[in-house]
Amino acid sequence: MGMTMTQKILANAAGKPEVKEGDLIMANLNLVLGNDITSSVAIDELNKIQCHKVFDKQKIALVPDHFTPNKDIKSAMQCQKLRKFALENEIENYFEVGEVGIEHALLPEKGLVVAGDCVIGADSHTCTYGALGAFSTGVGSTDMAYAVVTGKSWFKVPSAIKFVLTGKPKPNISGKDIILHIIGEIGVDGARYKSMEFTGDGLNHLSMDDRFTMANMAIEAGAKNGIFEVDDKTIDYMKQHSQKEYKVYKADEDAKYDEIIEIDLSSIDYTVAFPHSPGNAKTKEQWKDVKVDQVVIGSCTNGRLEDIKAAAEILKGKKVKKGVRVIVFPATQAIYLECIKSGHIQTLIESGCVISAPTCGPCLGGHMGILAENEVCVSTTNRNFLGRMGHITSQIYLASPRVAAASAIAGKLVTPEEV
């Protein structure tokens, strides 16, 4: 029986000629990731058993990005614990404030993940790196602690859904619209503990930033991971960002899939996930008059260069509607700097936006944009759960950067063509 892309990577990581759905395996890891929140718990567990030696100081990445710059004393103490652990163990890929970025944008940018890698992270959106043809998935902090010491993790080999992408997206339709459309179609549990594997000639029309966005939100369909077939765009990206050796795995022709779903990209319109689920996807004809109090543009989902550029193009020469707050978070320092050089930051500030340092802050209701009672936010983040970004009565609408920027101008949920 043939294997999927994910199954081939897991077989290689486990040192087996083949694996099949449902197998329990112990896999060698190419990278273990933790952030300021989750690493703190892992470090506590290691201290309990007095285990202080890591398996490989080059294969651990520690990224304090959630409550940084530190929002309060507790978050400062968490980062202090992380900093001490990183320095004592000479962790090479520890990123302090000033060089840090949002982890799932930073790691690919730094070339720490490439095709064929097997990666875990103590953060659910670790599945982002599937855009590079890697197997990557989120785990709990205790799993991270074990992996930091051993360089291994156990997995139940997932089954898969194959998404065959065809056609060319309409102008201004992005990866965010596409993945929200898909989650709306299959549901938030439609790929539960499965691999979402993307292939087809439609990939030719998706940028790497589109793919990162889509892989990032695979977890919102319940997936174990999302993964894209490696093509020339992937290889060009890896050559530009990484010195690591990569390995391309293609699914066998007789690979078994639970389902094969064809998606005509040309049929997808602007798509927004209404409260309180990423699966509550609606297109323009289903939108009602939604008044907006705040707009957030950024996050590990949509804080990359293409995203900030798209928002700036919509806002250029226009003003944010009086009474609307717009917070923009470039996902890394390098992206931030490029946005300054290209004039995007000036455009955004002149239009009435405030620019934040790279942080996860508002996405998880941590800091830098908490919502008050009954407030409405259009956000380019990945989750719109009840109370996710602040008060339990607040509402979050997930959208692409273009829709978010247009909504900031109009003061209500609209498409770019309406402004």
- Whether 52 has a pLDDT exceeding 80, the answer reads no
pLDDT of amino acid 377: 98
In whole angstroms, what is the distance from residue 231 CA to residue 241 CA? 16
What is the spatial distance between Cα 340 and Cα 350, in angstroms, rounded to a whole number?
13
Question: Scanning the structure block, which residue is given the tokens 């319940």?
Answer: 222
Give pLDDT tens digits for 322-367: 999 999 999 999 999 999 999 999 999 999 999 999 999 999 999 9
Band of residue 110 on the pLDDT scale cut at 50, 70, 90: very high
Sheet of strand 259-264, all strands in order from the earlier edge strand to the far edge: 225-228, 194-199, 159-166, 259-264
Question: By mean pLDDT, which of 49-53, 145-149, 190-194, 370-374 is the weakest?
Answer: 49-53
Amino acid, single-letter form, for residue 63: V
Mean pLDDT value across residues 223-235: 98
Q: What is the pLDDT of residue 256?
A: 97
Instruction: Assign 49 a pLDDT band (cuts: 50, 70, 90).
Output: confident
Domain limits of the chain? 5-242+250-264, 272-414
127 token code pair: 């599945």
The model's pLDDT over 22-35, given as tens digits with 9 standing for 90+, comes to: 999 999 999 999 99
Residue 256, burial from CB neighbour count under 10 angstroms (0-12, 13-18, 19+): middle
CB 376 within 8 A of CB 391: no
312, pLDDT greater than 90: yes
Q: Give DSSP secondary structure letters for 21-82.
A: TT-EEEEE-SEEEEETTHHHHHHHHHHHTT----S-TTSEEEE--SSTTT-SHHHHHHHHHH
Q: In the predicted model, what is the mean pLDDT of residues 16-23?
A: 97
Residue 311: pLDDT band (50, 70, 90) is: very high
Question: Would you say residue 206 has pLDDT above 90?
Answer: yes
Please state the CATH superfamily assignment of the domain spanning residues 272-414 in this structure.
Aconitase, domain 3 (3.30.499.10)
In terms of DSSP bridges, do strands 152-156 and 24-28 run parallel, antiparallel, or are they unpaired? antiparallel
Domain 5-242+250-264 grouped into CATH 3.40.718.10: no
User: What integer is the mean pLDDT of 292-310?
Assistant: 98
pLDDT, mean of residues 67-90: 95
User: What confidence score (pLDDT) does residue 387 get?
Assistant: 96
Q: Per residue in 330-353, is it b (16+ CB within 10 Å) or e — as a string?
A: bbbbbbbebbeeeebbebbeebbb
Q: With 0-12 CB in 10 A as exposed, 13-18 as middle and 19+ as buried, what is 25?
A: middle
Report whether 112 contacts 90 (CB < 8 A). no
What whole-number percentage of the chain has pLDDT above 70?
Answer: 100
Q: Which of 4, 401, 383, 400 lies closest to 163, judged by CA?
A: 4
Query: Are 5-242+250-264 and 272-414 the same fold in CATH?
Result: yes
CB 409 within 8 A of CB 315: yes
DSSP state of 211: H
Query: Which letter, b or e, does each residue of 149-170 get, where b requires 16 or more Cβ atoms within 10 Å of its Cβ?
Result: bebbbebebbbbbbbbbebebe
* b/e sequence 69-91, b meaning 16+ C-beta within 10 Å: bbeeeebeebbebbbebbeebeb
> What pLDDT does 50 receive?
86
Q: What confidence score (pLDDT) does residue 284 get?
A: 95
Structure tokens at 411: 């003061």
Q: Residue 279 pLDDT more than 80?
A: yes
Task: Check pLDDT > 90 for residue 202.
Answer: yes
Strand partners, 198: 163, 228
Q: How confident is the model at residue 51 (pLDDT cuts 50, 70, 90)?
A: confident
Section 48-53 average pLDDT: 86
* C-alpha–C-alpha distance, residues 383 and 29, integer Å: 28
Phi and psi torsions of 152, nearest 5°: -130, 160
User: How many angstroms separate the CA atoms of 312 and 331, rounded?
Assistant: 15
Judged against a pLDDT cut of 90, whether residue 170 lies above it is answered with: yes
State yes or no: pLDDT of 1 exceeds 90: no
Handedness of CA 17, 232, 399, 319 (dihedral sign): positive
